[in-house]
Every structure is written in structure tokens, then in C-alpha cells.
Chain A
């Protein structure tokens, strides 16, 4: 199998959790350490590689990222940075969470980093009430408990409502 990995024209098929199949060039798939290890260990002899934790919409995004990064040379880092910013621009929080899960499962560190950073940047310097709205998290404190937690960390609320 090692010799076939060197052939960039070879393709493999990935199947999402909801049954969509994607034909992918191997050099693109190799952006994923999980797939690389499968190919290295000859575990991918099946015609179709199932990815049961990743839906088609997310897998399409992941493969779009992988294709761009696989095709770009290292001398185009600025171009890749611009692509990464544009790639995540206007992406909703649910899609970002799916990307984090998929990148973690497929072991694509660069994608995991930019998606997680985007989420962190979204809540950075935000009031906790806004963080609840961004993440759709229910406030399970009583008013008294919330006030007590806030008082514990009073210095962290300087300049915040």
C-alpha cells in the first residue's frame, strides 16, 4: 500500500454518517492523520471508508479544507491564512462544533486549531450573558447562586454588565 500512497492520482471513497459518498484524491485525504494511518497500515482495503461520526455537510467542509491545504505549496502560507479566515467566516456555531468534532476524529490538527480558535475568539471579552446566548446554554443558577459566583470573581467583571 505504501507505493500506492505515493501516487497522487489515486482516489478513495469516504462515506458520511448519513450515507453520502465522496470520491477523494489520496493526497487530499492524507491531510488526515487518521486516514494516513489507515492507508499506511493497509486498513483501507475496503472500497469505501465509513466515517460514522461525520455528516455529509461537515465532511464536505472538511474535504474542502483538506483539498486547499493539500494543493497549496508551503510558499503560499499567506494565501492559506486568507483561505482559512474566509473558510470560517459567517459559519454558525453548530457548524463550528461539527468541524471541531470532525477534525478531532480525523486528526486534522490545522483544522482543529482554526475552528477551536474561531469559537474562542467569538466568546472572548464577552459578558457571560452573551456567552449563554452564543452557545444556547441555559442559566441553571438561581439569582442568588449567580450573584455569589460573580462576587467570587468580582475582578473579572470590571467593565462588564
Chain B
């Protein structure tokens, strides 16, 4: 090994004729689902079902529900909000094999102006269109 000629180290070559960029569908489904989409909350996952049939299929692979109470969704819209209970029930019915449900809330310590009624996170009550 000591006789090897000097070689480039950590230098990316210029490749003007390089092949087309790697596409998300070039990744194994396992990597897309477990390493990338698994880092999203369930609301994002439900929304990206509308991206394509393939993404719809990805969304059926998950076995856990992660609901995050985003402060902006309450403070910005002023519109009726679907309660978490509806989210969770809908997801359970569509996913089939749910193993866990996790619910979290965005830090609101510095947001004193929030309507006190929001403290229940709309887990059980709320308004549906």
C-alpha cells in the first residue's frame, strides 16, 4: 500500500456529462419510508398521499401515529379546527396496523395570548366543517 502513487483526496471531480440526478424513486422503499417519511408527522403524511399513487402506498406502511399540535394552525387561521380525535380515528381506520400513537404540542410558554379553550388541544371536542 505504501507504494501507491499519490491519489486525489476528498476532491470532487467536475463532471459536466454526469448522468441524470438521482430521483427519490431510485431509493429503496425501505429508505424512503423508514428513514425519510418516518421523520414527518402524521398530518404531513396524510397530506402527501395526494402527491401520487406511489406516495399513497408509502403512507400505508406506517404503524405509528404522530400528531403534533402546531401553534400556527390555531393562531393564524381563526377557522374551525378538526380535533385530534378525528385525526387519530381517521388514521387508525386507514392504516390498519397501528402500534403506537404519540401526541405532542408546540412550546407555548411565550404565547400568552392563546385562547384558554385551546388548552384541551381539541383532543375530544372541536368544530368540524
Contact = CB atoms under 8 A, between A and B. Distances in A.
Contact of A123 (B6, B40, B49, B79): B40
Given A57-B12, A97-B24, A158-B82, A21 B36 contact: no
A101 B31 contact: yes
Contacts of B6: 23
Interface in A90-128: 92-95, 97-98, 100-101, 104, 112, 116-117, 119-121, 123-125, 127-128
B48 A131 contact: yes
A128 B22 contact: no
Contacts, number: 152
Contacts of B79: 158-159
A22 B41 CA distance: 40
Interface in B76-114: 76-77, 79, 81-82, 86-87, 90, 94
B90 to A, nearest CB: 7
Interface residues of B, number: 52
B35 A153 contact: no
A135 B77 CA distance: 28
B44 A124 contact: yes
Interface string A133-157: 0011111110000100110111111
A109 B94 CA distance: 32
Contacts of A39: none
Contacts of B129: 154
A135 B24 contact: yes
Main secondary structure of the interface of A (DSSP, over half): helix
Contacts of A116: 31, 35-36, 39
A51 interface: no
B71 to A, nearest CB: 12
Interface string A36-67: 00000000000100000001110011011001
Interface of A: 10-13, 18, 20-24, 47, 55-57, 60-61, 63-64, 67, 92-95, 97-98, 100-101, 104, 112, 116-117, 119-121, 123-125, 127-128, 131-132, 135-141, 146, 149-150, 152-160
Given A155-B46, A158-B81, 7 more contacts: A57-B18, A60-B11, A64-B10, A92-B21, A94-B23, A140-B54, A152-B94
29 contacts: A13-B4, A21-B7, A22-B8, A24-B9, A47-B4, A60-B10, A60-B12, A63-B9, A67-B10, A94-B21, A100-B27, A100-B35, A101-B26, A101-B31, A104-B31, A112-B35, A116-B35, A125-B44, A127-B47, A128-B51, A137-B51, A139-B52, A140-B52, A149-B56, A156-B46, A158-B73, A158-B79, A158-B82, A159-B72
